[in-house]
Structure 1
Amino acid sequence: MKSLLNVAFMSFCLLWISSCESEQESFIKKIDKETLIAEVIGKDVQLIDIRTPEEYRKGYIDDAINIDFLQEETFKKDIQKFDKNQPIYIYCRSGGRTGRASKLMQQMGFKKIFDYSGSYNDWSATE
């Protein structure tokens, strides 16, 4: 009877551990301007502008850090400096680069990637 209880307890532990691991799976979520304002602006978060340095110099959102996605090797090296287990928010000029960057970052182990689908063009159009 005691060994049966041990087996049941170990099975429970394995189920619990695997359910916790599934919660750690990564995701990519598109967000809108309202979400960006509520969750990012003025807060201590990882906000990455993946446009070129020239685009960045013309203006950027809040305290975004610029890492040029078009320079893929540099992007891969620089993005590794960020915490993969904390939410990371990215945006580009018009929304084309963030989809590719999100997938790459997910492959690199980032867990919570938020893609501002409105992009910088949307942001700057209403300022």
Structure 2
Amino acid sequence: MKNLLVFLLLSAFVSACSQSKSKYITELSREDVETGVLLDVRTPREYNSGHIDEAINIDWLGKGFIEKAQALDKDKPVFVYCKKGGRSAEAARVLDSLGFKKVVDLKGGYDAYKAEAK
């Protein structure tokens, strides 16, 4: 628990200097998906009920998020989304602190993506 608290405090400090960016999920392009990593940080249950094609799932609320995320290519842009935008914003800050070159938080989340698709 102490390590988690230290990590969260460090993450908050680093996020003040964050290089992560954001854009609306409806602005996600085919090129973004083809050249980067599309990361869905919702729970597996949410992911299995529907997700954007080619998205990989690493549960922000689950065990081992950091370890699993570190296995991703840090040189590729990472486009992060969740249901509405809260979890993805936090995950984007952490990914940025882990040294990913470009992290983009997709604002509006999967709900906005689905609404646009209708």
Instruction: State whether TM-score is above 0.5.
Output: yes
The count of corresponding residues between Structure 1 and Structure 2 is: 101
1:96 aligns with 2:86: yes
d(CA) in 2 for partners of 1:120 and 1:34? Answer: 9
1:40 alignment partner, SS class = helix
**What corresponds to 2:40 in structure 1?**
49
**Pairwise CA distance, 1:78:** 0.6
- Aligned residue runs from structure 1 range 28-47, under 5 A: 28-41=20-33, 43-47=34-38
After TM superposition, where is structure 1 displaced by more than 3 Å over at least 4 residues in a row? none
Question: Percent same amino acid among aligned pairs?
Answer: 39
TM-score (normalised: structure 1): 0.72
**Runs of at least 5 residues in structure 2 that lack an aligned partner in the other structure:** 1-16
**Pairwise CA distance, 1:126:** 2.6
Note the alpha carbon deviations across 1:41-73, whole angstroms, 9 max, x for none.
Answer: 5x24211000000000110012100000001x4
d(CA) in 1 for partners of 2:75 and 2:21? Answer: 15
Pick the structure with greater CA Rg: 1
**One-letter code aligned to 1:52:** T
Asked whether the 8 Å contact 2:82–2:110 carries over to 1, the reply is yes
TM-score (normalised: structure 2): 0.77
What's the C-alpha RMSD, in Å, of the aligned pairs? 1.9
**Runs of at least 5 residues in structure 1 that lack an aligned partner in the other structure:** 1-24
